[in-house]
């Protein structure tokens, strides 16, 4: 991969290419944004462009020896570090500072990429600050962070700060299509499954398809008030493992909200087809739209969002789920079918 091939954050890409083109590479940079894996890809490819022997001068060729070595993490002049434990250890910083005093081994630049730079505690950051204050022209430090506010202002003021945006669903969709995913599948995967670049590499159509189908089934049970106990028991069962339950429930709220949104669209305009997010379920959604009304749909969406919030706040999931099911339909009704 090269800088040009990275998806999203075009402005950051333009800035980095500008540094390379004008041969004015800052000695310290901060990449701040919500997706650490994406920032790492940018940092690694920027390092490749700096070390590349055959590229254009402002991007990597992706084939020469340094390019390939950097991809494998084996290039001596590019060092990627991450905290050893909750914070960077003092020993790690000492090593970093020592190697920052040496000349590059193969190229003109030595690049240090620090992942989770917000996890440099104050004493580590102060030790590191000296290195930043007396930069060796050959060193480039790239600090990656998901939380710029946690980086000491004294460090921030010595760095060029590049802010990253999350990928838009349009960018995700184009990227999936570029990777050969069918356009309709790419559209749905972009909406439901892939928010980060790391998700993209895992995006699995079969898995999403199964989840959508099963959530349509849950929604149908809620609307028809039939076999609601099964929904309840399934959620109870899952709530035993808190972490996976929250992830599951978040996804459930997301998928069901979008199905409900489609139901609302169909209530307003039964001929709508193109504006549905799940056009393949149109027939079933029409059936469900006939069984409910806008107020109930709004109620359900709001209630599920509150429920997700409360569960994340560590309240008792079982009590909340029961309360949710009962509030949507009185217990007597929930038993009926
Ligand atoms: Zn190269």
Model pLDDT, residue 333: 44
Of 42-46, 70-74, 233-237, the least confident: 233-237
Separation of 47 CA from ligand 1 center, angstroms?
Answer: 10
Residue 11: CB atoms within 10 A of its CB come to: 12
Separation of 71 CA from ligand 1 center, angstroms?
Answer: 11
Give alpha helix (H) positions in the chain: 10-21, 36-51, 65-71, 90-99, 122-133, 153-156, 169-178, 183-192, 197-202, 205-224, 228-238, 242-268, 282-291, 294-312, 317-328, 331-335
Separation of 298 CA from ligand 1 center, angstroms?
Answer: 55
3-class DSSP state of 31: strand
Separation of 46 CA from ligand 1 center, angstroms?
Answer: 11
Q: Tell me the percentage of the chain whose pLDDT exceeds 90.
A: 48
Separation of 61 CA from ligand 1 center, angstroms?
Answer: 4
What's the mean pLDDT in 252-262? 92
Separation of 75 CA from ligand 1 center, angstroms?
Answer: 12
Residue 313 has pLDDT above 70, yes or no: yes
The reply to whether domains 3-166 and 204-335 share a CATH topology is no
Separation of 63 CA from ligand 1 center, angstroms?
Answer: 5
Separation of 17 CA from ligand 1 center, angstroms?
Answer: 15
Model pLDDT, residue 27: 94
Instruction: Kindly give, in sequence order, each residue whose CB lies less than 8 Å from that of residue 109, ignoring residues fewer than 6 positions away.
Output: 25, 50, 51, 77, 138, 139, 140
Model pLDDT, residue 329: 57
Separation of 53 CA from ligand 1 center, angstroms?
Answer: 5
Separation of 188 CA from ligand 1 center, angstroms?
Answer: 36
Separation of 200 CA from ligand 1 center, angstroms?
Answer: 25
Separation of 65 CA from ligand 1 center, angstroms?
Answer: 7
Separation of 24 CA from ligand 1 center, angstroms?
Answer: 19
Separation of 50 CA from ligand 1 center, angstroms?
Answer: 9
Residue 328 has pLDDT above 70, yes or no: no
Structure tokens given for 5: 């091939």
Residue 130's φ and ψ, nearest 5 degrees, are -60, -45
Q: How confident is the model at residue 284 (pLDDT cuts 50, 70, 90)?
A: very high
Residue ranges covered by each domain of the chain = 3-166, 204-335
d(CA 302, CA 315): 18
Crossing angle between the packed helical segments 36-51 and 10-21, to the nearest 10 degrees? 20
Separation of 74 CA from ligand 1 center, angstroms?
Answer: 14
pTM recorded for the entire structure: 0.75
Of 74-83, 97-106, 300-309, 316-325, the least confident: 316-325
Separation of 62 CA from ligand 1 center, angstroms?
Answer: 5
Residue 298 has pLDDT above 50, yes or no: yes
Separation of 81 CA from ligand 1 center, angstroms?
Answer: 22
Residue 71 has pLDDT above 70, yes or no: yes
Separation of 109 CA from ligand 1 center, angstroms?
Answer: 14
The CATH class, in words, for 204-335 is mainly alpha
Separation of 49 CA from ligand 1 center, angstroms?
Answer: 7
Q: Superfamily assignment of 3-166 in CATH?
A: P-loop containing nucleotide triphosphate hydrolases (3.40.50.300)
Separation of 212 CA from ligand 1 center, angstroms?
Answer: 43
Separation of 101 CA from ligand 1 center, angstroms?
Answer: 26
Chain segment 106-156, per-residue pLDDT in tens: 888 999 999 999 999 888 888 888 888 887 889 999 999 999 999 999 999
Separation of 7 CA from ligand 1 center, angstroms?
Answer: 19
């Amino acid at each position: 991969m090269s800088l040009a091939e990275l998806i999203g954050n075009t402005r950051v890409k333009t800035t980095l290419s500008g540094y390379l083109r004008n041969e004015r590479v800052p000695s310290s940079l901060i990449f701040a944004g919500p997706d650490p894996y994406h920032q790492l890809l940018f940092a690694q490819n920027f390092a490749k462009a700096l070390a590349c022997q055959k590229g254009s001068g402002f991007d990597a060729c992706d084939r020469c020896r340094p390019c390939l070595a950097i991809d494998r993490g084996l290039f001596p002049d590019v060092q990627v570090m991450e905290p050893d434990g909750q914070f960077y250890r003092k020993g790690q910083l000492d090593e970093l500072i020592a190697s920052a005093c040496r000349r590059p081994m193969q190229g003109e630049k030595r690049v240090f990429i620090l992942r989770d730079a917000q996890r440099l505690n104050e004493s580590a950051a102060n030790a590191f600050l000296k290195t930043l204050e007396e930069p060796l022209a050959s060193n480039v430090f790239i600090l990656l962070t998901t939380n710029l506010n946690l980086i000491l202002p004294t460090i921030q003021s010595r760095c060029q700060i590049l802010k990253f945006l999350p990928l838009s669903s349009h960018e995700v969709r184009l990227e999936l299509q570029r990777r050969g995913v069918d356009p309709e599948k790419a559209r749905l995967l972009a909406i439901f499954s892939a928010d980060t670049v790391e998700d993209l590499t895992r995006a699995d159509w079969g898995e999403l398809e199964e989840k959508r189908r099963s959530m349509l089934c849950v929604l149908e049970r809620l609307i028809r008030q039939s076999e609601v106990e099964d929904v309840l028991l399934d959620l109870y069962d899952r709530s035993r493992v808190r972490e996976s339950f929250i992830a599951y429930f978040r996804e459930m709220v997301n998928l069901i909200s979008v199905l409900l949104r489609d139901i609302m669209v169909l209530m307003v305009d039964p001929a709508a087809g193109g504006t549905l997010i799940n056009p393949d379920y149109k027939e079933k959604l029409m059936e469900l739209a006939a069984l409910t009304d806008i107020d109930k749909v709004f109620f359900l969406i709001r209630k599920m969002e509150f429920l997700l919030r409360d569960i994340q706040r560590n309240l008792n999931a079982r009590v909340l789920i029961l309360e949710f099911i009962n509030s949507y339909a009185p217990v007597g009704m929930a038993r009926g079918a």
